[in-house]
A and B are shown apart, each in its own frame.
Chain A
Amino acid sequence: MKDRNWQRFILKNTTFILFVLLFLIFGILAPRFLSFKNLEIILSNSSYIGIIAVGMTFVLLTGGIDLSVGSTMYLSAVSSGTLIAAGWPIAPTIAVSLLIGIAMGYVNALIITRLKIVPFLATLVTMTVGRGMGLFVTKSVQVDFPDSITLMSTVKVFGFIPLQIFIFGLVVILAMVFLRLTKSGRQLYAVGNDPLAAERAGIQTRPLITSTYVISGFFAALGGFISITQIGRVSAGFGSGDEFDAIAAAVLGGASLMGGVGSVFPGTVLGTVMIQMIQAGLVYTAVDIYLHPIVMSLIIFFAVLLDSVRTGQLKKMERRTIMKITS
């Protein structure tokens, strides 16, 4: 019986155990990997994609998907770059770029809830149109940001927490409280579990689904801004492909593409940090840089495979035993 409980514990926490194992393996192979500085870099690099992945988690919970987040990042970053170049102060610039994120999310929501187009197609369209608009404005010229922006990435809150990690933490806490402790948060899980039953139970599903895309758009713009403070410029490919990293992080953290299953913490946070940790680990252990994408994908594939095996095993364990146990 005790064996079974252990088995169950391991099966229920496969992602976390894999996380710890990878951490230890990299640590043993390259002791410098465990330095405080490196851990801070990993967290710092996780911040912007983590914020976007949190927004993605909201969308995934309802059974939707948002492919447009990379383009939203680009469009809002391009806008803030253009405004700053035109001499706008920083605060209103940030406000406008976040508003653009909200607007993109709202457009997604309108297409999905009013025109009844499936989320995959709706956000595929806004993904292409969003990037197209950005390219139209910039003529694909790189936009550079002044030091006043890039210096923000060196700001330490309370004297020791890097700004981007602080904002990531804040986003995670707010999202977690919202999902776990508010009426709308719990209703989101209900909608994801069974949309028809949710309507029958009198839940206002349309505003709920709308809010998830708005949140996703807002966090995409915020994540985009954090990324700018770190790299200082926006090229034509900015944010492209990040939508898949965000989806991978959420799914690695246990979110289901079918909706109703997933969490911001530990789930999505764990998924995001794990991806960054593997990237850093591969650098520290001096793996050929051209092998990184392959190794990376294999580890993610292994984690997802483990998750699928685990679900099957857990189901098996929960199946009742019919025959009398004779011993």
Chain B
Amino acid sequence: MGIKLKFNNIQKHFFGVTALDGVSFEIEEKHTVGLIGENGAGKSTLMNILGGVLLPDGGNMSLDGDAYLPSNPRDAAQRGVAFIHQELNLFTNLSIAENIYINSFPSLKKTPLIDKKKMNDSLKSLLKSLDLNYSPSTTVENLAPGERQLVEIAKALHSDAFLIIFDEPTTSLTARETEKLFTILDQLRSEGRTIIYISHILGEVKRITDDVIVLRDGKVTGNSETGLIEIPEMINQMVGRESDNLFPERSAKPKDSPILEVKSLSQPGIVGNVDFSVHEGEVLGVFGLMGSGRTEMARMLFGVDTYRSGSISIDGTPLPRNSPQSSIERGMAFVTENRREEGLLMNVAITENIGLVSLPDYCRNLVKWVDAKRMNEEAGIIGDSLKLKASDIRRQPAMSLSGGNQQKVVIGKWLMTKPRLLIMDEPTRGIDVGAKYEVYSIMDRLAADNSGILFISSEVEELIGIADRIVVMSQGEVVKVFEKKDFDVTALMAAAFREAVA
């Protein structure tokens, strides 16, 4: 088999930070290649160069043996390269067919009109082969996230792409949608297509790829057949150190006094009779499958959504319903699962982003003037403790950070409020091993300072690794509460699936 793609000494710099420092490797035709690395290691930059979004500062590429240097995504598409971004590039107000044909509508016999019938008919078999059982004229708005991704894949296949890049395709998918995606990836491979698969979920990489390329600090630190490398070794190559300790040692034990008490919280159709409490110094894990009502419950706790009956109190005093404002005043903080949408000010400096929520704390003087010096200093300390990859966090805009580092800024924003109770919904999703460890350490430090943490996750291993107790939710109800001594992957999973809860 031949070489599909070759990178030779690729260089790229941003704002004086080196993103890619002489990257060279080859990808064999018809292989599925995993591309892994920490946030900011250069994966996205490299793929943006491949997809024609960015131009390299140095080095060269070849595709199918010919020189390759796309200056825009269209060039890349013409050479048969398709890039399926993490944030999908679809027009939600148009139909599936219109999204696929957006720049190449077939016209009706020499008129300027679109031949809708021809357009829709031509896609029926393609959609069917992807198991997307909708008419091509369905509006994309009506599709679930997993289905939308299939539309992106259909787009790539329709443009006859033979090299398809997937950037973190499973982060917004349910378990079932993920399985379906893997089946389709197999199908693509058997059709002779080459696939580059970027993911932080190493289990997935191990399962579906032929080769693994590891990037660290803009350099290739690993390149091997997937069969010859185990996950711990992948992690070593990613972080450059031995990593027996995925979780920090907990430095203090939880106390007896409760911070948050939730009593028979109910909202018809969403949650029913939810009871639990979070104590001082405790990390309470909440485990459940996607769609189990975890996020909805967290939104009620914080006051974003309302509920019909039950009570929520902090330090013994009930919290008013539906008022995020008073939740914040009472010391609650909420890192939601939609960190990207939740709004970083992209053009504003990192430290100012971190200081945003705590701004009132720094305007306590007579004229409500912002004490910018003190705020920047303290935001800087938070930024340093998060180990942000940036050359100057006081000047650099949030925009210049990689995806994972932007997520750290959002977490930092809430840390700066010195929360009494921190709710974190999937805080480690889409971030790398090193950053995950830092997030766990932050939880431990807060707990040691007598704060309480509600840690929502769908990764059972991390809950076991860091939580003091775990509440399992399913279909809007608390199925069981596990004490630390009873932690067990199988039992937790079984509870989440409501199988034989003993």
Contacts and interface: CB of A to CB of B under 8 A. Distances in A.
Asked if A and B bind, the verdict is: yes
Interface of A: 177, 181-183, 186-187, 189-190, 192-194, 197-198, 200-203, 260-261, 320-324
Interface string B86-115: 000111111000100011010100001110
Contacts of B269: 321-323
A190 B113 contact: no
A190 B292 contact: no
A321 B291 CA distance: 9
A193 B91 contact: yes
Contacts of A203: 102-103
B404 interface: no
B113 A197 contact: no
A289 to B, nearest CB: 42
Interface string B252-295: 00000000000000001111100000000000000000011100
Nearest to B74: A202
B296 interface: yes
B94 A323 contact: no
B102 to A, nearest CB: 5
Contact of A323 (B92, B93, B293): B293
Contacts of B271: 322-323
Contacts, number: 73
B397 interface: no
A257 to B, nearest CB: 15
B394 interface: no
B73 A200 contact: yes
B93 A182 contact: no
Contact of B270 (A190, A261, A322): A322
17 contacts: A183-B114, A186-B94, A186-B98, A189-B91, A190-B93, A190-B94, A190-B98, A197-B90, A197-B91, A200-B89, A203-B103, A322-B270, A322-B293, A322-B296, A322-B475, A323-B268, A323-B272
A320 B291 contact: yes
Contacts of B272: 323
A282 B270 CA distance: 47
A19 B111 CA distance: 36
* In the complex, the 9 A-B pairs of residues with the closest C-beta atoms, listed nearest first: A323-B476, A183-B105, A193-B91, A190-B91, A322-B476, A322-B293, A202-B74, A321-B269, A181-B113
B499 to A, nearest CB: 15
B87 to A, nearest CB: 9
Interface residues of B, number: 31
Contact of A202 (B93, B103, B113, B268): B103
B54 to A, nearest CB: 13
B211 interface: no
Contacts of A193: 91-94
Nearest to B72: A202
B116 interface: yes
A322 B292 contact: yes
B475 A192 contact: no
A193 B99 CA distance: 12
Contacts of A323: 268-272, 293, 475-477
A261 B291 CA distance: 30
Contacts of B94: 186, 189-190, 193
Contacts of A261: 93
Given A189-B91, A323-B270, A323-B477, A182 B102 contact: no
Given A322-B269, A323-B270, A201 B102 contact: yes
Given A193-B93, A197-B89, A322-B476, 8 more contacts: A181-B116, A182-B114, A183-B107, A193-B92, A197-B91, A320-B291, A323-B269, A323-B476
B102 A187 contact: yes
A200 B292 CA distance: 36
A62 to B, nearest CB: 12
B28 to A, nearest CB: 29
Nearest to A262: B93
B293 A181 contact: no
Contacts of A197: 89-91
B151 to A, nearest CB: 13
A197 B293 CA distance: 32
Nearest to A190: B91
Interface in B471-497: 475-477
A4 to B, nearest CB: 13
Contact of A186 (B72, B77, B114, B296): B114
A277 to B, nearest CB: 29
Nearest to A183: B105
A222 to B, nearest CB: 21
A177 B113 contact: yes
Most buried by B among A186, A192, A193, A261: A186
B103 A181 contact: no
Given A181-B116, A182-B113, A192 B93 contact: yes
Most buried by B among A183, A192, A193, A261: A183
Contacts of A321: 269-270
Given A183-B114, A193-B91, A322-B293, A202 B73 contact: yes
Most buried by B among A177, A197, A323: A323
Given A197-B90, A200-B89, A322 B291 contact: yes
Contacts of B113: 177, 181-182
Contacts of A189: 91, 93-94
B102 A186 contact: yes
A235 B190 CA distance: 74
A46 B72 CA distance: 47
A198 B77 CA distance: 15
A189 B102 CA distance: 11
A146 to B, nearest CB: 39
A246 B214 CA distance: 58
Nearest to A181: B113
Contacts of B73: 200-202
Interface string B374-415: 000000000000000000000000000000000000000000
Contacts of A181: 113-114, 116
Nearest to A192: B93
A201 B100 CA distance: 10
Contact of A201 (B92, B103, B293, B477): B103
Nearest to A182: B112
Contacts of B103: 201-203
Nearest to B51: A200
Nearest to A198: B91
B258 to A, nearest CB: 26
Nearest to B292: A322
A177 B112 CA distance: 10
Contacts of A183: 105, 107, 112, 114
Nearest to B107: A183
Nearest to B268: A323
A149 B161 CA distance: 60
B2 to A, nearest CB: 29
A261 B91 CA distance: 12
Nearest to A194: B91
A200 B112 CA distance: 24
A254 to B, nearest CB: 12
Contacts of B116: 181
A46 B33 CA distance: 62
